[in-house]
Chain A
Amino acid sequence: MKVYRSLRLLLPMLVLMGIAVWQADIRTDIGDFFFAKGANDSGFLAGQLQSEQLARQYLLYFSAIEDDAKVEPALGEQLHRAISSLAGVRRVWRADAADYELESLLAFYAEHAVGLYSLRPQQAFESLTDDKGLDRQAQSIKEALLGPDPALIKTLLQRDPVLLILPWAARLDALTLNTMPRSQGISLFVEVQGSGLDTVVQEQFQHALSQTFDEINRQYGGRYRMQSTGVPVFATAIKEQIASDITRISALSSIAIGVLFLVVFRSLLSLAGTALLLAFTVCCAILATQVAFGYVHGLALAIGITLAGVCIDYFIHGMVHMGAPSTGTRSAAVRRIWPALMLGGASTFIGYTALSLSGFPGLQQIAVFAAVGILVALLLTRYCLPFLLDQWDLDLRPRWRVDKLLGVLSRPRLLPIAAVAALACFAIGLGSLQWSRDVAELAPSIQTLKDTDGELRSKLAGMEPGRFVLVEADTMDQALVLAERVQAALSELVSTGELTRFSPVFPLLASAATQRENQHHWNQALSQDLQVRWRQALERAGLASQAFPLLRPATDEVLEPGALTELPIWPLLSRQLMSTTERELIAIWLGRHDPATVRSAIDPVEGARYFSQRDSIGHLATSYRETALVLLFCGGLLIAAMLVWRFRSFKNGLKAVVPAVLAMLVVLGGWGMTKPELSFMHLIGLLLTTAVCVDHGIFFLANQARDKVLTYQAIVVSGLTTSVSFACLGAADNPALHALAWTVAPGVLLGFLLCPVVFANETRMANKTTMLT
């Protein structure tokens, strides 16, 4: 019968847990965690990180193991072919343009050479069509014909009789194609079909890629190595690291908590029961987060589980109080401590709700996760735990006595000493406290990958990563108009040497207005007289004019961005043209520059602004942090007000917070002295420490069991459990988990040790009462 009753409770729990596991869409993209989507900087960063095309791209670099050895061209071709034939590959292209690519590019653009001739069409065509200009152009054609590839020039002349493509190619040469620093290796871009963030698919592809490379490399005696970077590489590495962290931490904390439970309760069933309730709590939290956000971030899950782990406090309190010999029924014991439990839960809930309003998507998820976890844990403690213990007939009494510890810590003079020590610690560390401006530091520590990424990208172009001019407009054509104005301003800076180079969109693309203006001025200049003068110029240059095609008018066809997608230049261009749901964006990458000079140069162009990825992330971090601090302060005030209302005494209400405040002061001082850069995670850790310590303060002060020793016993056991489980987070590779570990573990430890120190009077009074009775 008992088994049947237990099953009646356990089965729905297991079903719900199954649904949570089945439904959860766990994502590991760091952009989802740190950046909110929208039209602001955060939205742009999110868009950039999540751009479908960029997210599907790998950059592969093949080089000789011996540094100065050159890679055989045959290897590049072989790899190109082999990788193109791998399953799931959309296309492969070389980072440097091969000759056939250059040819196709020139052949394509020769048709649009008039429209893309100049950003100042009137002056440009006037200068081209006077006698000097025609001589210059004829001379250029002759030089090109006598240059290294006359056949290409002959082909182009059929499409573009004045060879306007020559100045176009010269501009392009200066901008993109031939600016690759000389390197001995071969770079290949690979675009895959599946999402770059689909780690399962990407792991399979990476495995196939490694196998293919190994096979080909064996033919060359294993002389070469392959390096790779790109969003999919980061995604799989982060997933691996998070998975490895979760496995390691789960194993470690399970062992630690298991040992602690065995030592304290000497009961394996108590461990199983608590683990079941905790797992159910976590699954409910996952399900709620999934419903609220549509996905659960891996990092939010890892931190959320840890936060929900605090809920174990409620179970332990319940178990300790239910196991006390003086207790009547188990339900009665829980009913007695229920107001204190609710108060503790409410204070933690307020803290996390405040945090969720900070606008930081990661924190919002963590807040929802923790809030649901707390609510479910409280309800389980109140309604399920007594039922389960009854069914299993468990007598859980801690085998530890804390009387001696309580006696030592309740000495009257300890409070001023502890307060002075905490204040001194805080004062010493305060001066050295510093906030980190880089949220990326919280990302899994993939420094090796970051280094490889920087190394490989530096081989491609001399542009500064992460700093560029961003042009925004409602339509792409409007954005192109603005980009042309920015280009003019930046060209000035290049001519004065204040900017080494930049990557404008022109001459690869121009606004419709510019293209039409070019066509108009060319058609206006084209006359019988020009035909005659052009032939004369050709003759003067030593060219056989009769062998050249006649000059012809430009068509009114305008080159649109969509027409470029199949060109070999598109992979480069697509990194500059971006669309968000609301705006069209053009990024103009910059070479070495002074930010202030660039800012002032583009200032007159409305819709263009200087963008520094790092600065923007820093500003976002600062803004999130400042909002979070204000909200935490408000949340703190609300908690204090609630405690004052609950205890009907200003003094007692504030007293419940004192262990938390002292612990916080010591932890803050410790941070200052050890000098880590403080991040959101430290803030969350601080909030968590406060929540746990305030709970302990409430339990101790409320003392609804009328037994301080029993209450403290429960506090010590739950505090130890919390400290031990958080200390286990220190074994993770993830810096965010490190921050939590070294904030919560010492904070909670101090918090429960400080409870009797702060409430020494109440303890002594209670002891006297106990002795009298």
Chain B
Amino acid sequence: MRHRWLASYAAVCLILLGGIWCDRAAASEPLQDVLQRLEIAGPRQFQYREKKQMSLLSHPWLAAGELFLAPGEILVAQQTPRETLTLITAKQLEHFDLQRNRRFSRALSDTSQLQGLGSLLPLFSGGEGPDKLQERFDVKLRQRGGRWVLELMPIRSPRGPGDITLSGEPGGPADRIVLEFQDGDTIEWFLRPQADGPVARQRMLRLKEGLTDQGMR
């Protein structure tokens, strides 16, 4: 009986030590490398699923579509449950509800004030090295379940984004982004790379043209 206790105790210790070792191993991967992987050099296209959990919603809300990341801009082409287009740049947020032909446009003073993916625009656009990132967030890089996990907790945020967690396969891009707000609401994004280079650029361009046409209407 005593041996069994000892064995269990040793196993727990080993697991904990393993966990600590893994975390240390991940922590030993320089933040700079992860940030470089997140940085978008040219347009990239992803399939995405989005899950919103809000205290004001009776049930979690699910959406899916295409997500484009390009230097200085994020384009979200939601396909279900309804077709919408959202373009986020450093200066402007454009949102079109294609089915209702309703447009929302807003000039932005600072993308970090925007909730959701927009707050990650500087991260994806590059130029935000560890030092600059640490000015805005309390940054933690971990290894969990064999995946890298980057936790960003905002330092100053009166009404800005909540905690942001990005994670991905080792050596790979982020395939899951979780935004957790101060009131407990969360948004989860699951990303699957689909195309990059000219194909992504072409598709993104076509969608943006549609966005402009809508705006002109």
Q: Which of B57, B107, B109 contacts A542 (CB 8 A)?
A: B57
A178 touches B103 (CB 8 A): yes
A531-572 to B contact mask, C-beta < 8 Å, 1/0: 000000001001110011000000000000000000000000
Is A325 engaged at the interface, CB distance under 8 Å to the other chain?
Answer: no
B109 touches A154 (CB 8 A): no
Tell me, in angstroms, the Cα distance from A157 to B93 when the chains sit together.
Answer: 22
Is A454 engaged at the interface, CB distance under 8 Å to the other chain?
Answer: no
Q: Which of A100, A102, A155, A547 contacts B56 (CB 8 A)?
A: A547
Min CB distance A530 to B, Å, is 20
Is A94 engaged at the interface, CB distance under 8 Å to the other chain?
Answer: yes
B58 touches A150 (CB 8 A): no
A100 touches B58 (CB 8 A): no
B104 touches A544 (CB 8 A): no
Is B27 engaged at the interface, CB distance under 8 Å to the other chain?
Answer: no
Q: Which of B63, B108, B159 contacts A151 (CB 8 A)?
A: B159
From B76, which residue of chain A is reached at the shortest CB distance?
A: A148
Candidate in A145, A149, A155, A182 with the most chain B CB atoms within 10 angstroms: A149
Is A96 engaged at the interface, CB distance under 8 Å to the other chain?
Answer: yes
A148 touches B108 (CB 8 A): no
Is A73 engaged at the interface, CB distance under 8 Å to the other chain?
Answer: yes
A148 touches B95 (CB 8 A): yes
Residues of B with C-beta under 8 A to A154: 56, 183
B108 touches A543 (CB 8 A): no
From A102, which residue of chain B is reached at the shortest CB distance?
A: B106
A539 touches B181 (CB 8 A): no
Is B8 engaged at the interface, CB distance under 8 Å to the other chain?
Answer: no
Q: Which of B61, B91, B103, B106 contacts A73 (CB 8 A)?
A: B91
Residues of A with C-beta under 8 A to B181: 151
B109 touches A98 (CB 8 A): yes
Q: Which of A97, A149, A182, A542 contacts B58 (CB 8 A)?
A: A542
Is B169 engaged at the interface, CB distance under 8 Å to the other chain?
Answer: no
Is B115 engaged at the interface, CB distance under 8 Å to the other chain?
Answer: yes
Take A98-B108, A182-B215 as given contacts and tell me if A145 and B183 are in contact as well, using a CB distance cutoff of 8 Å. no
A150 touches B105 (CB 8 A): no
Tell me, in angstroms, the Cα distance from A152 to B137 when the chains sit together.
Answer: 22
Is A11 engaged at the interface, CB distance under 8 Å to the other chain?
Answer: no
Tell me, in angstroms, the Cα distance from A147 to B95 when the chains sit together.
Answer: 8
Min CB distance B181 to A, Å, is 7
Residues of A with C-beta under 8 A to B106: 97, 99, 102, 148-149, 178
Q: Number of B interface residues, CB 8 Å?
A: 32
Take A543-B57, A544-B56 as given contacts and tell me if A148 and B109 are in contact as well, using a CB distance cutoff of 8 Å. no
Is A146 engaged at the interface, CB distance under 8 Å to the other chain?
Answer: yes
User: A interface, how many residues as a size bin?
Assistant: 20 to 34
Is B38 engaged at the interface, CB distance under 8 Å to the other chain?
Answer: no
B90 touches A73 (CB 8 A): yes
Take A99-B114, A100-B113, A148-B116 as given contacts and tell me if A543 and B107 are in contact as well, using a CB distance cutoff of 8 Å. no
A99 touches B108 (CB 8 A): yes
Residues of A with C-beta under 8 A to B91: 70, 73
Q: Which of A94, A173, A539, A544 contacts B107 (CB 8 A)?
A: A94
Residues of B with C-beta under 8 A to A130: none
Q: Which of A96, A148, A539, A547 contacts B55 (CB 8 A)?
A: A547
A53-97 to B contact mask, C-beta < 8 Å, 1/0: 000000000000000001001000100000000000000001011
B57 touches A149 (CB 8 A): no
Is B86 engaged at the interface, CB distance under 8 Å to the other chain?
Answer: yes
Is B135 engaged at the interface, CB distance under 8 Å to the other chain?
Answer: no
Residues of A with C-beta under 8 A to B59: 542
Tell me, in angstroms, the Cα distance from A452 to B115 when the chains sit together.
Answer: 39
Min CB distance A215 to B, Å, is 22
Tell me, in angstroms, the Cα distance from A146 to B63 when the chains sit together.
Answer: 10
B115 touches A97 (CB 8 A): no
Tell me, in angstroms, the Cα distance from A315 to B159 when the chains sit together.
Answer: 81
Take A98-B107, A102-B106, A149-B115 as given contacts and tell me if A544 and B58 are in contact as well, using a CB distance cutoff of 8 Å. yes
Residues of A with C-beta under 8 A to B52: 146
Residues of B with C-beta under 8 A to A147: 95, 104
Tell me, in angstroms, the Cα distance from A547 to B108 when the chains sit together.
Answer: 30
From B84, which residue of chain A is reached at the shortest CB distance?
A: A147
Residues of A with C-beta under 8 A to B104: 147-148, 173, 178
Tell me, in angstroms, the Cα distance from A39 to B183 when the chains sit together.
Answer: 57
A115-159 to B contact mask, C-beta < 8 Å, 1/0: 000000000000000000000000000110111111100110100
Residues of A with C-beta under 8 A to B109: 73, 77, 98-100
Interface residues of B in 91-106 (CB under 8 A from A): 91, 93, 95, 97, 103-106
Is B54 engaged at the interface, CB distance under 8 Å to the other chain?
Answer: yes
Tell me, in angstroms, the Cα distance from A544 to B58 when the chains sit together.
Answer: 5
Residues of A with C-beta under 8 A to B58: 539, 542-544
Is B138 engaged at the interface, CB distance under 8 Å to the other chain?
Answer: no
Tell me, in angstroms, the Cα distance from A178 to B57 when the chains sit together.
Answer: 29
From A149, which residue of chain B is reached at the shortest CB distance?
A: B115
Is B33 engaged at the interface, CB distance under 8 Å to the other chain?
Answer: no
A96 touches B86 (CB 8 A): no
Tell me, in angstroms, the Cα distance from A137 to B106 when the chains sit together.
Answer: 23
B57 touches A96 (CB 8 A): no
Residues of A with C-beta under 8 A to B54: 145, 150
Residues of A with C-beta under 8 A to B159: 151, 155
From B212, which residue of chain A is reached at the shortest CB distance?
A: A182
Is B209 engaged at the interface, CB distance under 8 Å to the other chain?
Answer: no
Residues of B with C-beta under 8 A to A100: 109, 113
Residues of A with C-beta under 8 A to B93: 99, 148-149
Tell me, in angstroms, the Cα distance from A472 to B90 when the chains sit together.
Answer: 44
Interface residues of B in 21-79 (CB under 8 A from A): 52, 54-59, 61, 63
Tell me, in angstroms, the Cα distance from A143 to B78 when the chains sit together.
Answer: 14
Residues of A with C-beta under 8 A to B215: 182
A148 touches B61 (CB 8 A): no
Min CB distance A303 to B, Å, is 48
Residues of B with C-beta under 8 A to A77: 109
A544 touches B55 (CB 8 A): yes
Tell me, in angstroms, the Cα distance from A173 to B109 when the chains sit together.
Answer: 18
Residues of B with C-beta under 8 A to A548: 56
B113 touches A99 (CB 8 A): yes
From B161, which residue of chain A is reached at the shortest CB distance?
A: A151
Residues of A with C-beta under 8 A to B183: 154
B107 touches A99 (CB 8 A): yes
Tell me, in angstroms, the Cα distance from A77 to B58 when the chains sit together.
Answer: 41
Candidate in A70, A73, A547 with the most chain B CB atoms within 10 angstroms: A73
Residues of B with C-beta under 8 A to A182: 215
From B63, which residue of chain A is reached at the shortest CB distance?
A: A146
Tell me, in angstroms, the Cα distance from A169 to B115 when the chains sit together.
Answer: 20
B86 touches A148 (CB 8 A): yes
B95 touches A543 (CB 8 A): no
Tell me, in angstroms, the Cα distance from A539 to B57 when the chains sit together.
Answer: 9
Min CB distance B188 to A, Å, is 14
A145 touches B57 (CB 8 A): yes
Min CB distance A135 to B, Å, is 15
From A184, which residue of chain B is reached at the shortest CB distance?
A: B91
B115 touches A151 (CB 8 A): yes
Residues of A with C-beta under 8 A to B114: 99, 148-149
Residues of B with C-beta under 8 A to A157: 56
Tell me, in angstroms, the Cα distance from A70 to B73 when the chains sit together.
Answer: 14
Residues of B with C-beta under 8 A to A143: 97
Candidate in B56, B93, B181, B185 with the most chain A CB atoms within 10 angstroms: B56
A residues near B (Cβ < 8 Å) are 70, 73, 77, 94, 96-100, 102, 142-143, 145-151, 154-155, 157, 173, 178, 182, 539, 542-544, 547-548
Mind listing 22 A-B residue pairs with CB under 8 Å? A73-B90, A96-B107, A98-B107, A98-B108, A99-B108, A99-B109, A100-B113, A145-B56, A148-B86, A148-B95, A148-B114, A148-B116, A150-B54, A151-B159, A157-B56, A178-B105, A182-B215, A542-B57, A542-B59, A542-B61, A543-B56, A544-B56
In the complex, given contacts A96-B107, A548-B56, what are 5 additional A-B residue pairs having Cβ atoms less than 8 angstroms apart? A97-B106, A142-B57, A146-B52, A149-B115, A151-B181
Closest 4 CB pairs of A and B: A98-B109, A96-B107, A73-B91, A178-B105
